[in-house]
Structure formats: C-alpha cells, structure tokens
Chain A
C-alpha cells in the first residue's frame, strides 16, 4: 500500500492476496519471538485456507505452520496437542501430512514427533479424515 499519492504502484497490488479468508501473518511473528508458542499454534490453526483456490496462500500458510511446529521443544509437543480440540487435531494432522510432502533437512524429524503425539490424541480416524478430505489445507 503506497503512501506516495503520486505513484501508481498501488495498481499493481493484488487485492485478493489480502482477502480476510486467510490467516493473519503479523501476530505470529511477534508471538514466536516472545516464546508464547501455544498461542502461536492456536492462531496459526485458526482460519485455515481450505476454501481458497489460490496455491500461494496455501503454501504460505503451510510454511508458517511448519515454522511454528519446529519452534516447539520436544517436551512441549504433547501438551500442545492436548490443548487442541478434535477439529484442531484433525487440522494439525492435515498440516503434518502436507509437510511430509515436501521434506527439508530437519522438518521430517519434528513432523514425525508431532505425528506420534497427534496420532495418540486423534487415533487412526484422524488420518482417515486426512485421506478422505476433499478440500485440503
């Protein structure tokens, strides 16, 4: 958004990118720095971009979730999973499997830890719901 009223750069802005259907970027960065990871997790799992067809949005959401998940210490993972409700656990599973699709050096190890905890909370049913979901995260 330009402050310079002479410039025409604002015409190049893609308004759809800033649609409210998406999560909010800003709060998360603040939270992780402070170390309040539990709330970061809740925030990042709110409003998942399930209904948009824009691949960019989905990629950004996934990258953010991955960042939050890797920021957790292994001992805190279990508590974090317990704090989620059933829908949250299902959503977390979806992100975990999405993360498995594109492995980077460390991501798989943390994702596997998360997967184990989410599995004990959600059971096999949550994995079945990842497989049968028609609108993916």
Chain B
C-alpha cells in the first residue's frame, strides 16, 4: 500500500493511462496535470489548461489514448496527443449548469457527461462535420447526475443522481453502432429508454420502511454487466441483479456515507467514502444478500505502551474517555474523505490492484493480494468467513 501525497489540495478527479505509467488529475483548480511515474517518484510532464472552471471529471481512454475532461464551465474537451503536446477539442454539451462526471464508453466511440442540468449528454464524433455531437437523455431525471458507468455492451449506461435514484439508460446511437443484442436488463433499447430504476420504495432487502434514500454517489456495473452496485448518502450500499426486476439487496452500513464503489470480482466490491478507508462488501447471489467484508485499511498495530495516571486524567478532561490511545489523528492512510476509486490491474473481474484518491491530495495504490493476507490475520472478521473466503478465492490468479 503505497501512499503518495501529490498536493495539499483535494484531488477532484483522476484517471490512468493504459499501461498505468501516467496519471491525469485535477488539483482542485481549472487545470489538469499529468504526472509520469519515474521509479518511486512522480514527475509532472504536462499541464492541460483550457477549462474556465474547476475540472470535475477526467477519463483517459486506454486504446485510443484520448482524454476527455469536463468542468464547471459547462464544457467538455477531448484531448489528443499530437507529438509531445495535448491538443484540446471543444465539445458543446448544450447544458446550462456544471458538468459533474464523464466516462468513455468501452469501445471509446462515445462518452457520457452527467451534469447539474438534470440530464446526461451522450457525445459521439460525426465524421462528415468533423466535430463532436451530443444527444441528451432528460426524462425522468429530476436532479443532478452524480455518477456514471457504462455496461460492457457499449449501449447501456448506469447513472446515479441526486433525486435518490439509480437508473440504467440505453445510450444507443444508431450512427455509430449496430443494434445491441438483448441483455438481462431488457431487449428493447431505443435511445433514452429507462431499463431499470431503483427507488426508495423498490428496496426489498434493507431499509424496509421505504422512507429512506439519499443521493446516489457512486455506481458500478460488474464485469459481466449483470450486476449493478450503487452507494447512497444514507450510508447504504445496494446491488441489483438485472432480469429479476425487484431483486435489490441493500445493506445499511455502520459507516459514514460511501462516495465511490467498484466491483473487484463478480461477487465482491470495494467502496470508500467519508470514513477515509476502503471497505470490502461481499454479495451472495444465491441468497441475494450483501454483507460487510471488512475494513481494508489495516493500520500497523503499534505497541501498546502503558498510560500514566496523569495522561488518563488529561484524556478524561479533553476527550471524556480515559482510553489508551493517545492517537490524535486518523489511523487510516488517507487523512480525508476518499472521493474516487479506480481499478488498476486485473479489470473488474479479477482486480489485483486498485487506487484511491481523496480530499487530502493523496493517492494510495492498494494491492489486493497483500490485503488478503492481512485480512486473514485480522480477528475483526465478524462475518461468516465462508462467503469471505469464496470472495477471496475469486481473486486468486491461477
């Protein structure tokens, strides 16, 4: 687990290139900085200055090596590397509020931008006019779209929004692709069709009183595209399986709300948020239940030195507990909320490394294998180790 502190400012968003040697990130201002890995150090090699507002989303297309960025100035730019310089192309999104998140589709022929104008812009390149055109998905989104994730078939798009719902839309553009085959989410997929919508009343597993719901911060399709996970501001994480309409399993967690989520195998996901450490969740398909797998940030056990009577009273005075730890700060690697998780190696089916960035300006790469061994030693595993073992077994690389 390597922690690298890039800056003191929060990292708004980041994206890696194909071979994971370069990272593009936004240091909470109008630019995008690209850093290159040099041994153990990171050197800034490019600065992309074009936006007039904070850059809220960056995505780096691995195959075509293009970067798309979107910002609060209501614009998106597609950057291509010409020689040693990145050249921007403006994409007119026709939105009147800030753009919030952007994502390339798996085949990289289109990208989606979620914005505060309560719509999603799907942009594709039109060859005749040599520019990017966008189409809008408006209904039935009622508030800002916070997060997006594409289904592997390049047509379906999951969107989490501030109107407390997570939806799957069809973003089928007939100009750039053929009709997709049927999937578990549905077979008729005209542009803008809603194939799935979660609602507070649709939750069958967890929050039974149906009166809950919070902004949906992060969404993620599994590798096969059959499962969709989302995290919400009411500290819940939910998974829906396509096809069986009301199979939504959710777990009300005991932590602060989670901001980002990613599948690391077909049955387990990693999520992180305001609690500053990543958490593992395990999904049992047969029982349709989500269970908490464990905290993934295992701080080294410092030797417990005895606490003097004076310190005990001081603690009582300052913190109303005479506890042993004189730890003032957080024990986790990240010292502030984690805002984004990205899978580095192994894809979403057998992830072996993933990376998190947060509001403390730091980036941590987590190695799943070493976490596995650390977790096995942990005596905090209070859940049925059976499901955890099966989840961890998926991760073993043959």
Chain A residues within 8 Å of B, Cβ to Cβ = 48, 50-51, 86-87, 90-91, 122-126, 128-129, 132-135
Contacts and interface: CB of A to CB of B under 8 A. Distances in A.
A132 B234 contact: yes
Given A132-B234, A133-B234, A87 B255 contact: no
A124 B255 contact: yes
A86 B253 CA distance: 10
B225 interface: no
Given A125-B235, A128-B234, A132-B234, A50 B255 contact: no
A122 B235 CA distance: 11
A86 B213 CA distance: 16
Given A132-B233, A132-B234, A125 B209 contact: no
Interface residues of B, number: 20
Contact of B257 (A86, A122, A128, A135): A128
A135 B200 CA distance: 11
Contacts of B212: 129, 132-134
Contacts of B214: 128, 132
Given A125-B252, A129-B234, A129-B252, A87 B208 contact: yes
Contact of B254 (A50, A124, A133, A135): A124
A133 B211 contact: yes
Nearest to A135: B211
A42 B382 CA distance: 27
A125 B233 contact: no
Secondary structure dominating the interface of A: helix
Given A125-B255, A133-B234, 14 more contacts: A48-B209, A50-B211, A51-B211, A87-B208, A87-B209, A90-B209, A123-B254, A124-B235, A125-B253, A126-B235, A128-B233, A132-B213, A132-B234, A134-B213
Contacts, number: 57
A135 B201 CA distance: 12
A132 B231 CA distance: 14
B256 A128 contact: yes
Secondary structure dominating the interface of B: loop
Contact of A50 (B206, B209, B234, B252): B209
Interface of B: 164, 200, 206-209, 211-214, 233-236, 252-257
Contacts of B233: 128, 132
A4 B174 CA distance: 76
B255 A123 contact: yes
10 contacts: A48-B209, A86-B252, A123-B255, A124-B235, A124-B254, A125-B252, A126-B254, A129-B235, A132-B233, A135-B211
A135 B342 CA distance: 35
A40 to B, nearest CB: 20
A95 to B, nearest CB: 13
Contacts of A51: 211
Contacts of B256: 124-125, 128
Contacts of A133: 211-212, 234
Nearest to B253: A125
Nearest to A87: B208
Given A132-B233, A132-B234, A133-B234, A125 B254 contact: yes
B207 A87 contact: yes
A124 B206 CA distance: 17
A97 to B, nearest CB: 15
B199 to A, nearest CB: 12
Contacts of A124: 235, 254-256
B255 A90 contact: no
A135 to B, nearest CB: 4
Nearest to A85: B208
B40 to A, nearest CB: 36
